[in-house]
Structure 1
Amino acid sequence: MTKRSYYAPKGGLPPQTDLITDRAVFTEAYAVIPKREFSDIVTSFLPHWDKARAWVIARPLSGFAETFSQYIMEVQPGGGSDRPEPDAGAEGVFFVVEGEVTVTIAGKSHVLTPGGYAYLPPASEWTMRNTGSETTRFHWIRKAYEYVDGLDTPDPLFLNENDIAPNPMPDTNGAWATTRFVDPNDLRHDMHVTVVTFEPGGIIPFPETHVMEHGLYVLEGKAVYRLNNDWVEVEAGDFMWLRAFCPQACYAGGPGKFRYLLYKDVNRHMQLGAFNATRRR
């Protein structure tokens, strides 16, 4: 089992001696939230959660990225929730970066440690508690599940990245690899959350331009990332948020691996509701 590194924000507040200028940017095509922005004053508290706070780093915005929300949760020992998810139609993914959490679903408890991944189906009435002795921090990605006639909803999943061999991308000699928690051919799933790893000097060798929205949280290392027409430097603790069709590419900067947690929506037809409503008039 390979042990891996995971950056987790700790909060606090930059000192009065710091310059205001930094890398934070929000454009029509993408946003970058650098790790310095994860201060105490931008956290949120959630109903029915105790001893917990959240950095909300993505939420549906009309005209931008519309399919998902993403939180970094910080839960103190003994904290958690017995009513965590207010939307019965929402599916969720946990990815633990520090400490441990216990998730209970259908009467069975599962302990997740750093690198731990959980897929939580819609209407599954799960609960979560920090049963350890240290503060836990984890990503919580939420999406409205898109039901399809003839397809069941996915089963719950509890896995750990450290037990899964990354899949090298073709023709990269292992410089670019993806750790997958879900079978890409399983069409029950309408989102994928993976860990992408680049060896030092590894690249995305063309500007990917596609329909999937992305959330990319840098877990380890640094890189120069192309977003639309801009090149930005990113490092562990930074978050990138891409709307559909935003061109993206990167150079991994070294000296170690560059790794990020990636969200994307998959396996569904494009919604044509607005077009059909117009056509019916």
Structure 2
Amino acid sequence: MSYAFPPGGLPTQQDNPEGTAVFRESYAVIPAICMRDIVTSFLPGWVQTRAWILARPMTGFAETFAQYAIEVAPGGGSSEPEPDKDAQAVLFVAFGEVRLKIGRDNYDLVPGSYAYIPPAAVWTLWNVSEKPCGIHWIRKRYTWLDGQQPPDSKVTHDSEIPPVEMPGTNGVWATQRFVDPLDLRHDMHANIVTFQPGGRIPFAETHVMEHGLYVLQGTARYLLNTDWVDVGPGDFMWLRAFCPQACIATGDEPFRYLLYKDVNRHPSLALGGVPVQNRSVRGAMLPRDPSVYAVE
């Protein structure tokens, strides 16, 4: 299995600067060709590491998360990677190898490895190999619940998570859910969604969740608000709440993307989205069979 990552480098002087990057009031598309050396950032507390920062909270747009693609050179990494004690993280390795330490536990991550890191966790990340490593990193400030602890850390692999078919699709649309969607301790999910060629979202989804979608493999035509755009490996789509969306997988291989969404919390009723005091979740009316939920 291959996983796309920003190409870096720089186009030649003969390339046409007119591109397919789009920024609208409800969505943005950042094509892979835009993810070049000159738009990387260097991060405090990190060494031998550069980052493509693809999304950050923006007032009036998507407000809940930041999404990076970080390239860690041999010997690079960080002993203090996260500056915000309330931030949780998802890491997904695209290429190379890297060593993750959460508390006292060490994990050697390889392409396809997934890690969930809860808020306030003590963690480090170092490339102890002889080759660079590319990692997708999603950050969200955790919305705490009174009287409840946040989820535990989790490290697993793409190959260990069985795809769950969406109802009535005969397997052409499926989702790998790295955490239990009915676990209300989680206020974000980062899943892999897969469409077989010709598979589609057969209606324009319009919902409260924000999205970051990084295309890992394959191609599709994607509906964003009222526009159809062609996307492929390494392209990033960034959607604010209630942006209509649908897709049709094209080409002759599966279309797969890493999907972020915010879940399982009441919307704040304060102007500007300023958090209000959290209340404990006393319980939830959940179905006996979780498969009745068609969760991306």
Give the corresponding residue for 1:100: 97
- Distance change (3 Å), C-alpha of 1:229 and 1:132: same
2:187 equivalent to 1:195: no
How far apart, in 2, do the equivalents of 1:118 and 1:139 lie?
10
1:228 to 206, 216, 225: 225
Alignment deviations for residues 178-236 of structure 1 (CA, whole Å, 9 cap, x no partner): 01100001000000000000000000000000000000000000000000000000000
TM-score by length of structure 2 reads: 0.91
2:72 equivalent to 1:75: yes
Give the corresponding residue for 1:130: 127
Q: One-letter code of the match for 2:208?
A: V
Contact 2:7/2:32, CA 8 A, preserved across alignment: no
1:28 to 25, 28, 32: 25
1:60 to 57, 62, 65: 57
How far apart, in 2, do the equivalents of 1:83 and 1:276 lie?
29
Give the corresponding residue for 1:44: 41
- Distance change (3 Å), C-alpha of 1:21 and 1:103: same
How far apart, in 2, do the equivalents of 1:68 and 1:275 lie?
16
Give the corresponding residue for 1:258: 255
Unaligned ranges ≥5, structure 2: 275-296
How far apart, in 1, do the equivalents of 2:258 and 2:147 lie?
31
Q: One-letter code of the match for 2:266?
A: H
Deviation of 1:165 (Å): 1.1
2:11 equivalent to 1:14: yes
Any residues of structure 2 matched to 1:174-189 within 5 Å, and which? 174-189=171-186
2:237 equivalent to 1:240: yes
Deviation of 1:151 (Å): 2.2
SS at match of 2:201: strand
Contact 2:55/2:65, CA 8 A, preserved across alignment: yes
How far apart, in 1, do the equivalents of 2:227 and 2:22 lie?
11
Contact 2:7/2:33, CA 8 A, preserved across alignment: no
Contact 1:95/1:139, CA 8 A, preserved across alignment: yes
Deviation of 1:106 (Å): 1.3
Any residues of structure 2 matched to 1:119-158 within 5 Å, and which? 119-158=116-155
Percent identical across equivalent pairs? 59
How far apart, in 2, do the equivalents of 1:121 and 1:70 lie?
16
Deviation of 1:117 (Å): 0.5
2:125 equivalent to 1:112: no
How far apart, in 1, do the equivalents of 2:98 and 2:38 lie?
25
TM-score by length of structure 1 reads: 0.96
- Distance change (3 Å), C-alpha of 1:257 and 1:143: same
Alignment deviations for residues 59-104 of structure 1 (CA, whole Å, 9 cap, x no partner): 0000000000000000001110001100001000000000011111
Unaligned ranges ≥5, structure 1: none
How far apart, in 2, do the equivalents of 1:71 and 1:169 lie?
28
Contact 1:199/1:254, CA 8 A, preserved across alignment: no
How far apart, in 2, do the equivalents of 1:163 and 1:88 lie?
30
How far apart, in 2, do the equivalents of 1:34 and 1:120 lie?
28
How far apart, in 2, do the equivalents of 1:173 and 1:276 lie?
40
How far apart, in 1, do the equivalents of 2:58 and 2:164 lie?
33
- Distance change (3 Å), C-alpha of 1:275 and 1:238: closer
Deviation of 1:33 (Å): 0.2
Number of residue pairs aligned between Structure 1 and Structure 2 = 274
The CA RMSD measured in Å over matched residues stands at 1.2
Give the corresponding residue for 1:165: 162
How far apart, in 1, do the equivalents of 2:258 and 2:273 lie?
36
